[in-house]
């Protein structure tokens, strides 16, 4: 038997399994948790813990503000980094917020839940009074001969939506939040944070900031108090019905001219379209204005806000309200014979404005979170305020109540006072109970089909209520001339 003298090892006739690793593959060991250095494991644990704390803080802030539409408005615009050249990115708002989430610094001011609620109510009272006065004044300024738009409340609704968009998008005024400050360094064109050590993304930082500021009393006062009272859904729908019935006052003509019913339908569509369109546009413009003024917007120090402004607002809020009540009870002298018709438009409006604002605040707080796709709280207060406006309008134009009787032009002081009180309810209570700024922000944020359903149902039901309440009097006995 011959042997192999070539010194070569005979080949193994067994086929090698394809899944059997070769010697080189055996040398490559897949990494395991034991192969990760201890320092890196500690860093990963810290990062996970940081993300967990941020998520909990974001969730708590969302639970506090989600039920209140005025303060739960999403960002009207998205701040996305520019995808153009690198120098263009430097001008974007996103480039100035990058880094870890805010590091919590314990505030030296003890926070009391009762004090926070008291401050919130005080801000609502104070800003509702000035919101109602601003709306009344703007209506008077925009009602003049030759005016292109004869519905004065339009410009109040536009202005309130603009401010709502600005406050919702702004991130500098309440940067310190509840005494929490960001480890940021001020540069020439904005804020840029220090080195990012495994923190969250800038988008999450902005969402966290916008969620936290919704619970700050001053922010609630500016949005729910001023913007919500500056705008009025009931006055808007009242103008819609008056356009339908051909009773809308026109400064260009001394008397209302008769017209065909088809023109009334066209007037209704026109008022609804230009009010909603301009309000939606002003909401976005307010957000764009906040982005444009980002580098110039100052920051309110938390210590100053909590110790000085919040405490002062308790005196100012309740003091202004009490002063309005005293001014309504003991009006100024009229011995000089001057017709001071501002009393019915201003004084009584400031008396009833805080009541409407507080009602809207607590109803929205209780109902808005029940149906996410349909803000029930805002819908309820808008319908309630619209119905009360219709009833007060009927009483104001009823000859048997406070209007001027057809048989004589004389009227008593009691009729004048009653008419002024009804004016105060119309402009103060109904105007501050209903809101357009929140309604527009909700239409902006809801899904398309939900937004159309919510908007059409709100307008259709409100107009139906006014047709029944005001129309039953208008098309039977008619509207008499009010004494004020």
Q: What is the pLDDT of residue 106?
A: 42
Q: Which residues lie closer than 8 Å to 36 by C-beta, 6 or more apart?
A: none
Residue 177 has pLDDT above 50, yes or no: yes
Residue 186 has pLDDT above 50, yes or no: no
Residue 320 has pLDDT above 50, yes or no: yes
Strand partners, 403: 482
pLDDT higher for 464 or 188? Answer: 464
Q: Which residues lie closer than 8 Å to 23 by C-beta, 6 or more apart?
A: none
Q: Which of 170-174, 314-318, 476-480 is most confident?
A: 314-318
Q: What is the pLDDT of residue 439?
A: 96
Average pLDDT over residues 28-43: 54
Find out whether 458 and 275 touch, Cβ atoms under 8 Å.
no
Mean pLDDT, the chain, whole residue set: 78
Q: Three-state DSSP class for 43?
A: helix
pLDDT tens across 55-90, in order?
665 565 555 554 555 555 555 555 544 333 332 222
Strand partners, 185: 192
User: Which percentage of the chain shows pLDDT scores above 90?
Assistant: 45
Nearest CA among 404, 415, 421 for reference residue 479:
404
pTM of structure:
0.76
- For residues 380 and 291, give the distance between their C-alpha atoms in angstroms, rounded to a whole number: 33
Specify the range with the lowest mean pLDDT, choosing from 27-41, 244-258, 263-277, 363-377: 27-41
Average pLDDT over residues 106-110: 47
Average pLDDT over residues 305-319: 92
- For residues 298 and 319, give the distance between their C-alpha atoms in angstroms, rounded to a whole number: 28
Specify the range with the lowest mean pLDDT, choosing from 70-79, 81-90, 274-283, 411-420: 81-90
Q: What is the pLDDT of residue 108?
A: 45
């Amino acid at each position: 038997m011959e042997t192999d003298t070539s010194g070569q090892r005979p080949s193994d006739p067994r086929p090698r399994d394809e899944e059997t690793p070769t010697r080189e593959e055996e040398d490559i060991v897949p990494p395991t948790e034991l192969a990760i250095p201890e320092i890196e494991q500690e860093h990963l644990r810290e990062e996970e813990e940081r993300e967990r704390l941020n998520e909990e803080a974001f969730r708590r802030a969302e639970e506090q503000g989600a039920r209140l539409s005025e303060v739960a408005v999403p960002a009207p615009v998205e701040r996305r980094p520019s995808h153009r050249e690198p120098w263009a990115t430097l001008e974007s708002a996103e480039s100035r917020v990058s880094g870890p989430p805010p590091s919590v610094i314990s505030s030296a001011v003890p926070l009391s839940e009762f004090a926070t609620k008291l401050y919130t109510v005080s801000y609502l009272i104070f800003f509702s009074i000035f919101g109602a006065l601003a709306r009344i004044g703007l209506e008077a300024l925009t009602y003049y001969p030759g005016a292109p738009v004869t519905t004065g409340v339009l410009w109040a609704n536009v202005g309130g939506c603009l401010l709502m968009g600005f406050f919702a998008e702004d991130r500098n005024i309440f940067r310190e939040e509840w005494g929490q400050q960001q480890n940021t360094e001020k540069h020439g064109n904005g804020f840029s944070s220090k080195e990012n050590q495994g923190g969250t993304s800038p988008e999450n930082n902005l969402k966290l900031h916008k969620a936290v500021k919704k619970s700050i009393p001053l922010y609630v006062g500016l949005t729910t108090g001023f913007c919500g009272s500056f705008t009025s859904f009931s006055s808007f729908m009242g103008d819609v019905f008056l356009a339908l019935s051909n009773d809308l006052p026109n400064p260009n003509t001394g008397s209302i001219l008769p017209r065909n019913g088809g023109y009334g339908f066209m007037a209704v569509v026109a008022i609804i379209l230009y009010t909603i369109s301009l309000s939606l546009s002003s909401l976005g413009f307010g957000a764009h204005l906040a982005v444009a003024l980002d580098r110039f917007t100052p920051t309110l120090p938390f210590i100053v806000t909590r110790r000085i402004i919040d405490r002062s607002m308790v005196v100012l809020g309740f003091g202004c309200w009490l002063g309005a009540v005293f001014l309504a009870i003991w009006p100024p002298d009229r011995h000089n014979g001057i017709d001071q018709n501002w009393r019915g438009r201003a004084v009584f409006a400031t008396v009833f404005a805080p009541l409407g604002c507080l009602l809207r605040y607590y109803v929205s707080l209780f109902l808005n979170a029940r149906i996410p796709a349909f803000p029930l709280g805002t819908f309820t207060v808008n319908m309630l305020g619209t119905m009360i406006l219709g009833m007060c309008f009927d009483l104001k134009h009823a000859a048997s109540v406070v209007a001027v009787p057809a048989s004589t032009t004389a009227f008593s002081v009691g009729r004048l006072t009653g008419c002024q009180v009804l004016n105060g309810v119309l402009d103060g209570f109904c105007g501050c109970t209903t809101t357009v700024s929140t309604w527009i922000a909700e239409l902006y944020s809801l899904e398309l089909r939900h937004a159309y359903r919510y908007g059409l149902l709100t307008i259709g039901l409100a107009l139906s209520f006014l047709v029944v309440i005001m129309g039953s009097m208008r098309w039977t006995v008619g509207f008499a001339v009010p004494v004020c």
